[in-house]
Structure 1
Amino acid sequence: MTEVKLLTNVKLETGERVIDNGSVETITALFHLKIEDGKIVEIVKATDAVPTNITVIDMKGKLAVPTFKEMHNHLDKTYLSLDWKACIPVSNLAERLSFEAKELVELSTTAKQRATKMIETLLKNGSTHIRTHVNIDPYIGLKNLEGVLEALKDFEGKVTAEVIAFPQHGLLRDQVPALMREAMRSGATMVGGLDPAGIDGAIEKSLHEVMDIAVEFNADVDIHLHDGGFVGYYTADKWIDIVEDANYKGRTALSHSFCLGDVPISQQEVIAKRLAEQRVAIMSTIPINQGRIIPPIDLLDAYGVPVHFGCDGFYDSWSPYGTGDVLEKATRFCELTRKIDERSLRNSLKWVTGGITPLDQEGKQVWPKVQDAADFIFFNAASSAEVVARKPADRLVMVNGKLISTN
């Protein structure tokens, strides 16, 4: 049965104007949006008459923006729903992994419970798509994957997901390659990797094993790359070679990639061009507490490299911090890079929406359109620039034309 409803008095961005002092101001107007079976079928000005034979939801002038995509997460790691526990300090990544390994068995029994709480938190903040890495290791096998998949099943119709088989404790050890393949047969949808130099100690062998699994299962790839400096740079460069050889253009990503910010600008430009040519995406969490240089995101963007933000794991054995609000990452990036004007703030929304913004770079309206999915976050805000700068906490989330209860 066709479900029809009308969203009235929705504020949409329609353009921009330059005011007397030379600054840009976003233009908005109120509209009625007719929704049928989860899609927008009509957009009319709010001055038009409202029909009486249809379900009406008055949005009372709230601004609509696209829903968020959380593109780097670990649903299986969080302590959410458990008692408070602070982190144990460590001196390096290997030590952190050692501590994590000791609690994996104990935590695996609550994987679904903890993942459910994290999904609820992400959804409440406006993320309706989650790319999650899930530990596949010799300590617990596929237990975390099973719990995460069960949790995601409960959110069908509200949240879409990419589930990455992630060899957190090393790909080239024990029975991990076999476990990775078993994970791909058991519901994982992407193949992960981790620090081919720093953890696996064999850059080419590790990267080729990742690609071999990906090709075997016709799956996309997302590799954690913490290795910095020229070692990390070499790893990224070698990965692009492998992507090209495998004809995997547009199907892979490198997460974190601090190394891209560790090298001179001339080399950043060289690899940015290569990344763009093979459509290798960069996933960043915009960290502020690791003493690391983040990838040169503006430079990568200028060369056409796809860049997306994510919250990463939060409140887990790695860090007690984090809110599950990916918008916070866009705000932080703008603050770090001194984006303070209307246009640059507005355009920065793309980092957390999968590239969708209501206005394009020239200030012309490009979203929403008829036949788009009726997926929105509604804010009490003047523009998406204010949303990015101020991170309003009061939000309403709609997926496929249905307001989502997030209490």
Structure 2
Amino acid sequence: MSQWLLNVRLETGEQLHEDGSIQTTTDLFHIEINAAGQIAQMTPADAAFQPENAKDMQGQLALPAFKEMHNHLDKTYLSLPWKACRTVSGLEERLHYESLELSALADNCEQRASAMIEKILGFGSNHIRTHVNIDPYIGLKNLEGVLAALNKYKDYVTADVIAFPQHGLLRDDVPSLLREALRNGATMLGGLDPGGIDRDIEKSLQTTMDIAQEFNVDVDFHLHDNGHLGYYTIDKWLDLVEENGFTRKTDFSHSFSLGDVTVPEQIAMAKRLKEHNVAIMSTVPFNLGRNIPPIDLLTEHGVNVHFGCDGFYDSWSPYGSGDILQKACTFADVTRKITERELRQSLCYITNGVTPLNNEGQMQWPKAGDEASFVFVTSSCSAEAVARPPKKRTLMNKGKFFN
């Protein structure tokens, strides 16, 4: 049975004023959604049209549903009593302290992951890419908890579940554990700092390649290593992709090293990333002591960049909310995106590239046949939503409202 959404505000174009400023234009539409969760048709709003099985959206703006593309559902302390973090001297010490609490937290992983999923859904994301610890301390316990939590919300969210060697790939029986995880529900393979953590870039990358090809899965590397160490790691992986004829997709999360090297080196790497369809997953961690990838440069060279909130409220940080729209706002603010076009195009980093208007200001979303997945807000346009994220949002996933 189909349903109707009445009086939905959609962006339809833009108006150029004499002073050179641009204003996004919008109009109200009625949208029919079929039983398969797709848009059947869209018609200009008509007050006289009162179909059965209809919900009046009262002029709320529809945005494409958001995508949370870097997260750790298994790590959060959400639903547990307050707990701040310990001071550490570096990444390895942070990993050590995390390892001490893994077993204690594993038993309530489903509960904690569920609390995090609800936060993420409430902020408007209908897809989560989550890395899940697979290590000698807990084996596959976190994977089991995360999969159970995701299954409870399967009507509202899809997920990439990454088997992630958080405490190093080249130790104990981690490679065999990763293989077991991929046989038991994990959909992607992760990697972590082949230089800084595994201390053997070539062996770590080759082991990752062997497992990825064995299971025919995509790969997402956490790459914190700075400067030319991280740059070399990316370059070496792309060499392996070519040498092994690797046809699955690769993504690099964080990739701080791309912000440390010269502009010519950034451009050279951007061209290689584009050639191999490699995306960069950034958590936009703007602070005074960290360079991040050159997101604008990568975008200009055709490299796909996606944002994620990372883990939040866990042994790594007491901060974070799961609000991916706030990440887009932070990026736009720090990089001085202040015009209508700049702001609304910044939405692409949290929607898998989908924006209501194209670069020329022409309407391109939504249309008949599209998945009926929206975030409804009271903002006047997507530029305003990015610059001033509204607190109240309503998610619809494939025709089903969350809450």
TM-score by length of 1: 0.97
User: CA-to-partner distance for each residue in 1:367-392, whole Å, 9 max, x for gaps?
Assistant: 00101111100010110000000010
Q: By how many angstroms is 1:51 displaced?
A: 4.1
Q: 1:104 is paired with a residue of what secondary structure?
A: helix
- The answer to whether the 8 Å contact 2:155/2:400 transfers is no
Query: Aligned-pair distance for 1:168?
Result: 0.2
Match of 2:131 in 1: 133
Deviation at 1:48, TM superposition (A): 6.8
Which structure 2 residues correspond to residues 332-371 of structure 1 after superposition, within 5 A?
332-371=330-369
Aligned partner (choices 209, 212, 229) of residue 211 of structure 1: 209
What's the RMSD between the two structures over aligned residues? 1.0
Tell me the residue number matched to 1:70: 68
Structure-2 change in CA distance of 1:250 and 1:28 (3 Å): farther
Distance in 2 (CA, whole Å) between partners of 1:204 and 1:263 is 21
Cα 1:250/1:305, change in 2 over 3 Å: farther
2:156 and 2:400 in contact (8 A); partners too: no
- In the aligned structure 1, how far is the partner of 2:357 from the partner of 2:120? 25
Cα distance, 1:247 vs. partner? 3.1
What is the CA distance between 1:47 and its match in structure 2? 2.9
Name the residue aligned to 2:38.
Answer: 39
1:285 matched to which residue of 2? 283
Q: Which structure 1 segments of 5+ residues have no match? A: none
Q: Is the contact between residue 207 and residue 239 of structure 1 (CA under 8 Å) also seen in structure 2?
A: yes
2:200 to 199, 202, 227: 202
Counterpart in 1 of 2:271? 273
Give runs of aligned pairs for residues 294-305 of structure 1, distance below 5 A.
Answer: 294-305=292-303
In 2, Cα distance between equivalents of 1:298 and 1:194: 25
Q: Which moved more, 1:310-319 or 1:40-49?
A: 40-49
Unmatched 5+ residue regions in structure 2? none
Residue 321 of structure 1: which of 312, 319, 322 is its match? 319
Instruction: Report the Cα offset of residue 92 of structure 1.
Output: 0.3
State which of 32, 54, 57 in structure 2 corresponds to 1:56.
54
**Is the Cα contact below 8 Å between 1:249 and 1:279 reproduced in 2?**
no
1:204 offset after TM fit, Å?
1.1
Matched to 2:268, the amino acid is V
- In the aligned structure 2, how far is the partner of 1:221 from the partner of 1:48? 50
User: Which residue of 148, 158, 165 corresponds with 2:163?
Assistant: 165
Relative to the length of structure 2, the TM-score reads 0.98
Closer, same or farther in 2 for the Cα pair 1:316/1:289, shift >3 Å?
farther
**Partner amino acid for 1:46?**
A
By how many angstroms is 1:301 displaced? Answer: 0.6
Alpha-carbon deviation of 1:288? 2.5
Could you say what secondary structure the match of 2:13 adopts?
Answer: strand
Aligned match for 2:382, one of 381, 384, 390 = 384
- Deviation, structure 1 residue 290: 7.1
Per the alignment, residue 402 of structure 1 pairs with 400
In the alignment, the residues of structure 2 paired with residue 156 and residue 244 of structure 1 have an alpha-carbon distance, to the nearest angstrom, of 36
Alignment check: 8 A CA contact 1:137 1:176 kept: yes
Amino acid at match of 1:287: P
Residue by residue, what CA displacement relative to the aligned partner does 1:51-70 show, whole Å, maximum 9, x if unpaired?
44x21100000000001000
Shift of 1:248: 3.3
Picking from 118, 121, 126, the partner of 2:119 is: 121
Give, as a single letter, the amino acid of the residue that structure 1 aligns with 2:167: H
Q: Distance in 2 between matches of 1:243 and 1:17?
A: 46
Amino acid across the alignment from 1:41: A
Task: Give the match's secondary structure for 2:202.
Answer: helix
How far apart are the structure 2 equivalents of 1:27 and 1:93?
A: 48
Counterpart Cα distance in 1 of 2:284 and 2:87: 21
Residues in 1 aligned to 2:310 and 2:128: alpha-carbon distance in whole angstroms: 11
Secondary structure of the 2:284 match is: coil
Larger mean Cα displacement after TM superposition, 243-252 or 353-362: 243-252
Q: 1:236 aligns with which of 234, 252, 258?
A: 234
Give 1:246 deviation, angstroms: 3.1
Equivalence map 1:238-253=2 (5 Å): 238-249=236-247, 251-253=249-251
In 2, the alpha carbon distance for the partners of 1:49 and 1:66 equals 28
Residue identity over aligned pairs, in percent, reads 60
The question of whether the paired residues in 1 share the 8 Å contact of 2:217 and 2:248 is answered with no
Following TM superposition, where does structure 1 have runs of at least 4 consecutive aligned residues deviating by more than 4 angstroms?
none
Amino acid at match of 1:254: F
How far is 1:24 from its partner? 1.0
Aligned AA for 1:226?
Answer: H
